Amino acid sequence: MIRDDELELLLNDVLDRYGYDFMNYSRASLKRRVNRLLTIDKFPSFAELRYRLLSQPDYIKRFVEELTVNVTEMFRDPAFYQTLRTTILPTLTAKPFIRIWHAGCSTGEEVFSMAIMLREMGLLHKSLLYATDLSPGVLETARAGIFPLAPMKQNSENYRLSGGTQDFSEYYTAQYGYVKFDASLASRMVFSTHNLVSDGSFNEFDLIMCRNVMIYFDKPLQERVLILFDNSLGPLGYLVLGTKETIRFSPMQGRYRQIDSEKIWRKIAD
Protein backbone atom coordinates (compact mmCIF):
# COMPACT_ATOMS: atom_id res chain seq x y z
CA MET A 1 0.00 0.00 0.00
CA ILE A 2 1.43 3.41 -0.89
CA ARG A 3 1.11 6.25 1.56
CA ASP A 4 -0.88 9.40 0.93
CA ASP A 5 2.26 11.54 0.65
CA GLU A 6 3.80 9.13 -1.89
CA LEU A 7 0.71 9.45 -4.04
CA GLU A 8 1.05 13.24 -3.96
CA LEU A 9 4.70 12.96 -5.03
CA LEU A 10 3.72 10.82 -7.97
CA LEU A 11 0.95 13.18 -9.05
CA ASN A 12 3.39 16.07 -8.91
CA ASP A 13 5.89 14.18 -11.05
CA VAL A 14 3.30 13.34 -13.66
CA LEU A 15 2.17 16.95 -13.85
CA ASP A 16 5.64 18.53 -13.92
CA ARG A 17 7.20 16.05 -16.24
CA TYR A 18 4.37 15.06 -18.59
CA GLY A 19 1.68 17.70 -18.16
CA TYR A 20 -1.04 15.28 -17.04
CA ASP A 21 -2.96 16.92 -14.22
CA PHE A 22 -4.63 14.45 -11.83
CA MET A 23 -4.57 16.84 -8.86
CA ASN A 24 -8.38 17.14 -8.74
CA TYR A 25 -9.06 13.41 -9.00
CA SER A 26 -10.50 11.17 -6.31
CA ARG A 27 -7.61 10.10 -4.09
CA ALA A 28 -9.36 6.92 -2.95
CA SER A 29 -9.66 5.74 -6.53
CA LEU A 30 -6.14 6.84 -7.57
CA LYS A 31 -4.60 5.11 -4.58
CA ARG A 32 -6.25 1.83 -5.53
CA ARG A 33 -5.10 2.20 -9.11
CA VAL A 34 -1.48 2.89 -8.15
CA ASN A 35 -1.44 -0.03 -5.72
CA ARG A 36 -2.81 -2.24 -8.43
CA LEU A 37 -0.13 -1.04 -10.86
CA LEU A 38 2.59 -1.78 -8.28
CA THR A 39 1.31 -5.34 -8.18
CA ILE A 40 0.68 -6.08 -11.85
CA ASP A 41 3.90 -4.47 -13.08
CA LYS A 42 5.79 -6.12 -10.22
CA PHE A 43 7.47 -3.07 -8.73
CA PRO A 44 9.40 -4.04 -5.60
CA SER A 45 8.72 -0.63 -4.10
CA PHE A 46 7.10 2.73 -4.66
CA ALA A 47 10.54 4.23 -5.38
CA GLU A 48 11.01 1.84 -8.31
CA LEU A 49 7.73 2.91 -9.86
CA ARG A 50 8.65 6.54 -9.45
CA TYR A 51 12.05 5.93 -11.01
CA ARG A 52 10.59 4.09 -14.00
CA LEU A 53 8.10 6.87 -14.58
CA LEU A 54 10.77 9.58 -14.53
CA SER A 55 13.46 7.70 -16.43
CA GLN A 56 11.37 6.00 -19.13
CA PRO A 57 9.10 8.44 -20.95
CA ASP A 58 7.47 5.49 -22.78
CA TYR A 59 5.99 4.28 -19.54
CA ILE A 60 3.72 7.31 -19.11
CA LYS A 61 1.24 5.99 -21.67
CA ARG A 62 0.75 2.79 -19.73
CA PHE A 63 0.69 4.71 -16.47
CA VAL A 64 -2.12 7.00 -17.63
CA GLU A 65 -4.03 4.07 -19.05
CA GLU A 66 -3.79 2.17 -15.77
CA LEU A 67 -4.41 5.16 -13.54
CA THR A 68 -7.68 6.00 -15.23
CA VAL A 69 -10.51 3.51 -15.29
CA ASN A 70 -11.34 2.41 -18.82
CA VAL A 71 -14.03 -0.19 -18.22
CA THR A 72 -16.98 0.28 -20.55
CA GLU A 73 -19.76 -1.64 -22.27
CA MET A 74 -22.08 -1.31 -25.25
CA PHE A 75 -25.62 -0.08 -24.52
CA ARG A 76 -24.72 0.13 -20.85
CA ASP A 77 -27.90 0.89 -18.85
CA PRO A 78 -30.37 -0.23 -21.52
CA ALA A 79 -33.21 1.85 -20.05
CA PHE A 80 -31.18 4.98 -20.61
CA TYR A 81 -30.48 4.02 -24.23
CA GLN A 82 -34.16 3.39 -24.72
CA THR A 83 -34.92 6.95 -23.61
CA LEU A 84 -32.25 8.18 -25.99
CA ARG A 85 -33.85 6.24 -28.81
CA THR A 86 -37.46 7.11 -28.13
CA THR A 87 -37.32 10.59 -26.58
CA ILE A 88 -34.06 12.37 -27.34
CA LEU A 89 -32.87 11.45 -30.82
CA PRO A 90 -36.30 12.02 -32.44
CA THR A 91 -36.04 15.71 -31.48
CA LEU A 92 -32.89 15.98 -33.60
CA THR A 93 -34.26 14.47 -36.81
CA ALA A 94 -35.23 17.81 -38.35
CA LYS A 95 -31.69 19.14 -38.10
CA PRO A 96 -29.66 19.23 -41.31
CA PHE A 97 -26.65 18.09 -39.35
CA ILE A 98 -26.22 16.43 -35.93
CA ARG A 99 -23.09 16.90 -33.86
CA ILE A 100 -22.42 14.63 -30.88
CA TRP A 101 -19.49 14.66 -28.47
CA HIS A 102 -18.51 11.59 -26.44
CA ALA A 103 -16.17 12.98 -23.79
CA GLY A 104 -14.18 10.22 -22.07
CA CYS A 105 -15.19 7.64 -24.68
CA SER A 106 -12.64 5.05 -23.52
CA THR A 107 -12.34 2.19 -26.04
CA GLY A 108 -15.39 3.39 -27.98
CA GLU A 109 -18.20 0.97 -27.08
CA GLU A 110 -20.46 3.91 -26.27
CA VAL A 111 -19.73 5.58 -29.60
CA PHE A 112 -20.51 2.44 -31.59
CA SER A 113 -23.74 2.02 -29.62
CA MET A 114 -24.73 5.55 -30.61
CA ALA A 115 -23.81 4.98 -34.25
CA ILE A 116 -25.94 1.82 -34.35
CA MET A 117 -28.96 3.70 -33.01
CA LEU A 118 -28.45 6.59 -35.41
CA ARG A 119 -28.15 4.14 -38.30
CA GLU A 120 -31.39 2.43 -37.33
CA MET A 121 -33.14 5.80 -37.17
CA GLY A 122 -31.76 6.81 -40.56
CA LEU A 123 -29.73 9.65 -39.03
CA LEU A 124 -26.17 8.39 -39.17
CA HIS A 125 -25.36 9.80 -42.61
CA LYS A 126 -25.95 13.36 -41.35
CA SER A 127 -24.33 12.90 -37.96
CA LEU A 128 -20.79 13.44 -36.80
CA LEU A 129 -19.59 11.71 -33.62
CA TYR A 130 -16.60 13.32 -31.94
CA ALA A 131 -15.07 10.82 -29.55
CA THR A 132 -12.38 12.05 -27.19
CA ASP A 133 -10.38 10.75 -24.26
CA LEU A 134 -7.21 11.84 -22.51
CA SER A 135 -5.63 8.43 -22.91
CA PRO A 136 -4.08 7.76 -26.35
CA GLY A 137 -4.04 4.02 -25.69
CA VAL A 138 -7.81 3.55 -25.47
CA LEU A 139 -8.34 5.73 -28.55
CA GLU A 140 -6.22 3.36 -30.65
CA THR A 141 -8.60 0.53 -29.77
CA ALA A 142 -11.64 2.71 -30.44
CA ARG A 143 -10.30 3.81 -33.82
CA ALA A 144 -9.71 0.23 -34.92
CA GLY A 145 -13.27 -0.74 -34.01
CA ILE A 146 -12.05 -4.16 -32.89
CA PHE A 147 -13.35 -5.55 -29.62
CA PRO A 148 -13.16 -8.84 -27.71
CA LEU A 149 -15.84 -11.34 -28.70
CA ALA A 150 -16.68 -12.53 -25.18
CA PRO A 151 -18.74 -9.49 -24.05
CA MET A 152 -20.86 -9.53 -27.23
CA LYS A 153 -23.44 -11.79 -25.62
CA GLN A 154 -24.03 -9.22 -22.88
CA ASN A 155 -23.81 -6.35 -25.41
CA SER A 156 -26.37 -7.96 -27.62
CA GLU A 157 -28.67 -8.51 -24.64
CA ASN A 158 -28.26 -4.85 -23.66
CA TYR A 159 -29.01 -3.84 -27.24
CA ARG A 160 -32.22 -5.85 -27.22
CA LEU A 161 -33.28 -4.46 -23.83
CA SER A 162 -32.68 -0.94 -25.09
CA GLY A 163 -35.28 -1.50 -27.82
CA GLY A 164 -33.03 -2.78 -30.60
CA THR A 165 -34.85 -5.10 -32.98
CA GLN A 166 -32.19 -6.10 -35.49
CA ASP A 167 -29.91 -9.10 -35.31
CA PHE A 168 -27.03 -7.55 -33.35
CA SER A 169 -24.43 -9.86 -34.85
CA GLU A 170 -25.12 -8.31 -38.27
CA TYR A 171 -23.15 -5.27 -37.15
CA TYR A 172 -19.83 -7.07 -36.84
CA THR A 173 -17.72 -9.90 -38.16
CA ALA A 174 -16.11 -12.26 -35.67
CA GLN A 175 -12.65 -13.76 -35.99
CA TYR A 176 -10.19 -15.31 -33.54
CA GLY A 177 -11.97 -14.17 -30.41
CA TYR A 178 -12.42 -10.62 -31.66
CA VAL A 179 -15.09 -8.75 -33.55
CA LYS A 180 -14.70 -5.95 -36.03
CA PHE A 181 -17.59 -3.56 -36.35
CA ASP A 182 -18.95 -2.58 -39.74
CA ALA A 183 -16.64 0.12 -41.15
CA SER A 184 -19.58 2.24 -42.28
CA LEU A 185 -20.48 2.82 -38.61
CA ALA A 186 -17.02 4.26 -37.98
CA SER A 187 -17.14 6.45 -41.07
CA ARG A 188 -19.00 9.15 -39.13
CA MET A 189 -16.64 9.09 -36.12
CA VAL A 190 -13.70 11.37 -35.36
CA PHE A 191 -11.32 10.24 -32.61
CA SER A 192 -8.97 12.60 -30.85
CA THR A 193 -7.20 13.10 -27.54
CA HIS A 194 -8.77 15.79 -25.41
CA ASN A 195 -8.12 16.34 -21.71
CA LEU A 196 -11.15 17.72 -19.89
CA VAL A 197 -8.85 19.19 -17.25
CA SER A 198 -6.71 21.28 -19.56
CA ASP A 199 -8.26 21.49 -23.04
CA GLY A 200 -11.01 23.88 -24.07
CA SER A 201 -14.18 23.88 -26.10
CA PHE A 202 -13.65 22.95 -29.77
CA ASN A 203 -17.11 22.92 -31.35
CA GLU A 204 -20.81 23.39 -30.72
CA PHE A 205 -22.81 20.22 -30.14
CA ASP A 206 -26.42 19.05 -30.07
CA LEU A 207 -25.62 16.30 -27.59
CA ILE A 208 -22.73 15.77 -25.21
CA MET A 209 -22.27 12.44 -23.48
CA CYS A 210 -19.89 12.22 -20.56
CA ARG A 211 -20.74 9.14 -18.56
CA ASN A 212 -18.74 7.79 -15.63
CA VAL A 213 -15.86 10.17 -16.18
CA MET A 214 -16.63 12.98 -13.75
CA ILE A 215 -17.24 10.51 -10.90
CA TYR A 216 -13.44 10.54 -10.59
CA PHE A 217 -13.26 14.36 -10.32
CA ASP A 218 -13.63 16.48 -7.20
CA LYS A 219 -16.39 19.10 -7.04
CA PRO A 220 -14.33 22.11 -8.23
CA LEU A 221 -13.14 20.20 -11.29
CA GLN A 222 -16.64 18.91 -11.97
CA GLU A 223 -17.86 22.48 -11.98
CA ARG A 224 -15.15 23.58 -14.41
CA VAL A 225 -15.94 20.73 -16.77
CA LEU A 226 -19.67 21.47 -16.60
CA ILE A 227 -18.89 25.02 -17.71
CA LEU A 228 -16.84 23.62 -20.58
CA PHE A 229 -19.83 21.50 -21.61
CA ASP A 230 -22.19 24.44 -21.22
CA ASN A 231 -19.97 26.47 -23.56
CA SER A 232 -19.94 23.60 -26.03
CA LEU A 233 -23.69 22.98 -26.19
CA GLY A 234 -25.91 24.69 -28.72
CA PRO A 235 -29.37 26.04 -27.79
CA LEU A 236 -31.66 23.16 -26.69
CA GLY A 237 -28.67 20.84 -26.67
CA TYR A 238 -28.55 17.80 -24.38
CA LEU A 239 -26.06 16.91 -21.69
CA VAL A 240 -25.91 13.25 -20.67
CA LEU A 241 -24.15 11.96 -17.54
CA GLY A 242 -23.81 8.53 -15.91
CA THR A 243 -26.62 6.99 -13.85
CA LYS A 244 -25.18 8.09 -10.50
CA GLU A 245 -24.10 11.61 -11.53
CA THR A 246 -25.92 14.92 -11.32
CA ILE A 247 -25.72 18.64 -12.12
CA ARG A 248 -27.97 19.34 -9.14
CA PHE A 249 -25.25 21.12 -7.15
CA SER A 250 -24.09 23.28 -10.03
CA PRO A 251 -25.13 26.92 -10.49
CA MET A 252 -25.68 25.88 -14.10
CA GLN A 253 -28.68 23.72 -13.31
CA GLY A 254 -31.17 26.61 -13.43
CA ARG A 255 -30.74 26.81 -17.18
CA TYR A 256 -31.25 23.11 -17.73
CA ARG A 257 -34.31 20.89 -17.57
CA GLN A 258 -34.00 17.23 -16.63
CA ILE A 259 -35.64 14.76 -19.01
CA ASP A 260 -37.80 12.10 -17.35
CA SER A 261 -35.90 10.59 -14.46
CA GLU A 262 -32.85 9.91 -16.61
CA LYS A 263 -29.50 11.65 -16.22
CA ILE A 264 -30.24 13.79 -19.27
CA TRP A 265 -30.48 17.58 -19.12
CA ARG A 266 -31.62 19.93 -21.85
CA LYS A 267 -30.29 23.44 -22.16
CA ILE A 268 -33.32 25.72 -22.02
CA ALA A 269 -31.66 29.14 -21.71
CA ASP A 270 -28.46 30.65 -23.07
Partner 1 sequence: MAENSGLNPKTVVVIGGSTGSIDVLLQLLPALPNPLTFAMVVVIHRKNTSDSALANLLAVRTHVPVQEVEDKDVLTAGTIYLAPADYHLLLEKDGTFTLDYSGKVHYSRPSIDVTFESVADVYGSGVTGILLSGANADGTAGLQAISQAGGTTIVQHPDTAQVAYMPQQAIQNVQIDHILTAPEIIQFLNSSPDVLIR
Ligand X SMILES: C[S@@+](CC[C@H](N)C(=O)[O-])C[C@H]1O[C@@H](n2cnc3c(N)ncnc32)[C@H](O)[C@@H]1O
| Residue numbers at the binding site for ligand X (CB under 6 A) | 68-73, 76, 104-106, 110, 133-135, 138, 195-197, 211-213, 242
Nearer to ligand X, 20 or 171 (CB): 20
Dist CA 69 CA 192 (whole Å): 18
**Closest approach of partner 1 to the CB of residue 123, in Å:** 26
Q: Is 9 in the site for partner 1 (CB under 8 A)?
A: no
Helix (H) or strand (E) holding 133: strand 127-133
Say whether residue 125 binds partner 1 (CB under 8 A).
no
173 touches 181 (CB < 8 A): no
User: Residue 133 binds which one of partner 1, ligand X, none, with CB within 5 to 8 A depending on kind?
Assistant: ligand X
Residue with smaller CB distance to partner 1, 40 or 183:
40
What is the closest distance, in whole angstroms, from the C-beta atom of residue 251 to ligand X in the complex? 21
Contacts with partner 1, 22-51, as mask; x by CB under 8 A: ----xxxx-xxx------------------
C-alpha 134/C-alpha 195 separation (Å) is 5
The interface with partner 1 within residues 68-97 (CB under 8 A) comprises 69, 71, 77, 79
Instruction: Give the nearer residue to ligand X in terms of CB position, either 66 or 126.
Output: 66
Residue 224, by phi and psi: left (phi above 0), alpha (psi -120 to 50) or beta?
alpha
Element (H, E) at 102: strand 98-103
Minimum distance of ligand X from residue 39's CB (angstroms): 20
Residues 235-264: x/- map of binding to partner 1 (CB under 8 A)? Answer: --------xxxx--x---------------
How many Å apart are CA 197 and CA 52, to the nearest integer? 25
Whole-number minimum distance, CB 11 to partner 1, in Å?
A: 15
SS3 138: helix
Residue from 17, 125, 219, 257 binding partner 1 (CB under 8 A): 219
Q: Which residues of 95-126 are buried (b: 16+ CB within 10 A; e: fewer)?
A: eeebbbbbbbbbbbbbbbbbbbbbbeeebbee
Burial class for 167, CB neighbours closer than 10 Å (0-12, 13-18, 19+): exposed
Tell me the closest approach of the beta carbon of residue 255 to partner 1, in angstroms. Answer: 21
To the nearest whole angstrom, how small is the minimum distance from the Cβ of residue 28 to partner 1? 4
Which residue(s) pair with 205 in the sheet?
Answer: 233
Q: Which of 50, 45, 38 is nearest to 14 (CA)?
A: 50
Comparing CB distances to partner 1, the nearer of 127 and 162 is 162
What 3-state class would DSSP assign to 240?
strand
Indicate which of partner 1, ligand X, none lies near residue 249 (CB less than 5 to 8 Å, by partner kind): partner 1
Positions in the binding site for partner 1 (CB under 8 A) = 4, 26-29, 31-33, 69, 71, 77, 79, 212, 214-216, 219, 243-246, 249
